[in-house]
Amino acid sequence: MSELIVNCPKCSKGLKLRDRKKLGKKARCPKCSHVFILSAPPETPDDEDEVELKLASDVAPQPAPSSQEPAVGVAARWVPDNAPPLQQAAVQFQVPQQAMPEQPAASGFPLVPSVGPVTVAPEDAGGVAHLKALKKKNAKRRNAAIIAGVLTAAAVGGVVYFAQDHLEAAKIAEEEAQKPKIDEELQATKDGLRRATELAKASSPTAGGPIPMKCMPLGARVIISLRPAELWKAGSRGEELRYCLGPFGEWATAKITELCQFEPAQIEQALIGIIPGEVGAAPQVAAIVRLVEPAKKSELLVKFGGESNQDHGYPIYVRENLSFLIGSDLKMIAVAPSGAAAAEMASSVEYQNPQSDGIDALLPQTDSERHLTVIFEPLSVNLHRDTMFPKEVWKLIDKSMQFFNEDEIETAVWSMHFGDTKFHSEILVRNKTVIREHLLQGQMQKKLKLLPFELVSMVELMNPQIIGPRKVIGRFPAMTQVYAMSTIGGMGSRFAQLTTELPDRAAPNLALGGLLAWDESTRTDFSRSVKQVQPEDTGPKIPDLIADRLKTIIEVEFPRTPLQDAFAYIADECKCDHYINGDALKLSGYTKNMPQAFTGQMSGYDAIKAIVTKDKQTDLCIVIQEDQKRFLVTTKPVATEAGLTIYQFK
């Protein structure tokens, strides 16, 4: 392809065009920098004026022109028709270091006083720069808008969040306002009962695990746990207790020996379960015996005899109507009636059978190391009284079941431990859903406090012919009153608790008094009108003034008696009324269940003084209110604010 010579329309400089395809495109004159459309020339210019047409990128930079000539471009560049202005490359100039004279407008390039090479846009680069400026400005506006949007969104979100938080708080406050107000004193009483249960557990004389029920057949409704080796030990409190129980102690010895085939002194623990059937039918009896020392298997096989039976997953020995199971350690022997009970006994060697809901619920609260524990359902005892117990004790059972009301109590556990220094008694009752735990506990304590006065009414009708039993029976109501006053209430999850601690001599005395009173009751006609005896009906003439009544000498025995019960006992003994300002006590950090521990013979004043001055910094005080025939238990700040006269102890 032959080269074409295209003349610049402005300076007529001949430009060589090697590629005809570039005709119709824009080009820049390398001499005068004029931009024009390439078109075929009508004639060829002279050779001396011919200049090769090159793109700007193919042309090396030229030295700067002299001061006599204006700075002009040294190379032409082809610019596509459809290329945007931003894609057009700039033409480079060499700018002299000294100040340059102002260039003619025809050049189209204002000179910038600078040092070194400077890139200057072509003549249509003004639009590009303007577009860049607009984009930069728009970018700034866009960034500002984004920042403003983010801040606005954050502000709106914060407002919404705090508004929702405020609305939620208002909603909760409204719901709380609609809830019934909790009696603070009632809540304090419940908290005190729970703490009392924890304290009773911490002060327990034993720390054994729950009573083990493995190998006990289903359906046991009365369960008796005994530790015969300790109770039958010579010279122990248990031996004294058995002697005080008279024929009951002898009967227990014979029954344990008959059922367990070992002497009580050889048995570490005996668990007896009474399984009632239909009403009127004799109940079945099962027993689990754990020996003090392992026995020889040959000796056990000879003692229990019977044929071996492997049908129930564990070998048992069947003899007449009884089945026996021997533990792998040769210390455990289980006895159950043959039949279904024997199969249930064999199937529960590893995992104990479930009993009733109430029994299973209270079993974790039991202690297998207690000397005596009785678990029973009042309803079952009432239904099967005639077949469970001898006729001679029916009245005693009926009286006992009045204390354990079947309408309110589902299951009861009564455990006792006869230590060398303390007699420990604990009653646990599982309440039915018709009554709350704290209310049931309060009712049972009230029954316990009324028991001495009921016994007085019964003892009045008795006429023992022997002087010794007569004295013991006469003192029996007072013994039960000491027991009642030493009892501390408590509660837990679905059970109420009564815990009593007395000196070790209390157990045999109560046993003997109860036995003699029961024996005399079998010969007493109670059909006569019984006079109800109240505390104010006994004793010498009552002084008129409360101040004089509190001088009465009383017998005080407070092992760990709650404060409210201690004041109640003092008021009863001194034949006066009293009132405890629970709100005042609460303001000073006191509760009505604070335990009081002191004993001795003293006046009512001295007993009260021992309570209110136990702590040198105490705020407790009493106010004698003769107009109301009572003493008020309050605190010094409240009494002073109310203008009451605080009694000053000497």
pLDDT tens for each residue of 214-228: 999 999 999 999 999
Of 33 and 182, the structure prediction assigns the larger pLDDT to: 33
Q: Is residue 625 part of a domain?
A: yes
For 131-177, the pLDDT digits (tens) are 666 666 666 666 666 776 667 666 666 655 555 656 666 666 666 65
pLDDT at residue 537 in the model: 43
Helix axes 437-459, 394-403, angle to 10 degrees: 140
Of 92, 120, 153, the one marking the end of a domain is 92
pLDDT at residue 157 in the model: 62
Q: How many domains does the chain have?
A: 3
CA–CA separation, 520 and 464 (whole Å): 7
For 171-216, the pLDDT digits (tens) are 666 666 555 555 676 777 778 788 878 888 888 899 989 999 999 9
Q: The domain spanning residue 609 has which CATH number?
A: 3.55.50.30
Average pLDDT over residues 405-424: 93
pLDDT at residue 180 in the model: 53
Most confident of 24-38, 159-173, 518-532: 24-38
Q: Show the domain range for 88.
A: 1-92
Of 344, 370, 396, the one marking the end of a domain is 370
Average pLDDT over residues 271-285: 92
Q: Which residues sit opposite 482 in a β-bridge?
A: none
Mean residue pLDDT across the chain: 80
Percent of the chain with pLDDT over 70: 75
pLDDT at residue 17 in the model: 76
Angle at 188 between CA 183 and CA 192, to 5 degrees: 150
Which residue, 587, 576, 589, is CA-closest to 639? 587
Q: If you ran DSSP here, which 8-state letter would residue 433 be given?
A: T
Structure tokens at 49: 């004026």
Give the count of beta carbons closer than 10 Å to the beta carbon of residue 327.
19
Q: Is residue 453 part of a domain?
A: no
pLDDT at residue 154 in the model: 65
Q: Is residue 399 part of a domain?
A: no
Tokens 């003692």: give the residue: 303
pLDDT at residue 77 in the model: 54
pLDDT at residue 468 in the model: 84
CA–CA separation, 530 and 540 (whole Å): 22
pLDDT at residue 593 in the model: 86
pLDDT at residue 268 in the model: 94
Of 429 and 614, the structure prediction assigns the larger pLDDT to: 429
Average pLDDT over residues 613-635: 87
Q: Is residue 281 part of a domain?
A: yes
Of 370, 392, 426, the one marking the end of a domain is 370
Contact indicator for 488, 561 with CB cutoff of 8 Å: yes
- Report the amino acid identity of residue 550: L
For 539-550, the pLDDT digits (tens) are 457 788 988 999
Report helix, strand or coil for 226: strand
Q: Is residue 234 part of a domain?
A: yes
Q: Is residue 628 part of a domain?
A: yes
Residue 225 and residue 359 in one domain: yes
**pLDDT class of 237 with cuts at 50, 70, 90:** confident
- Report the amino acid identity of residue 182: I
For 331-383, the pLDDT digits (tens) are 999 999 988 888 899 888 888 899 999 999 999 999 999 999 999 999 999 99
pLDDT at residue 460 in the model: 87
Of 109 and 576, the structure prediction assigns the larger pLDDT to: 576
For residue 102, pLDDT beyond 50 = no
Q: How far, rounded to the nearest angstrom, does the alpha carbon of residue 30 sit from its chain's CA centroid?
A: 94
pLDDT at residue 66 in the model: 45
Average pLDDT over residues 389-401: 87
CA–CA separation, 51 and 258 (whole Å): 140
Q: Is residue 230 part of a domain?
A: yes
Pick from 81-85, 112-116, 578-582: least confident: 112-116
For residue 582, pLDDT beyond 60 = yes
For residue 301, pLDDT beyond 80 = yes
Average pLDDT over residues 82-96: 44
Q: Is residue 442 part of a domain?
A: no
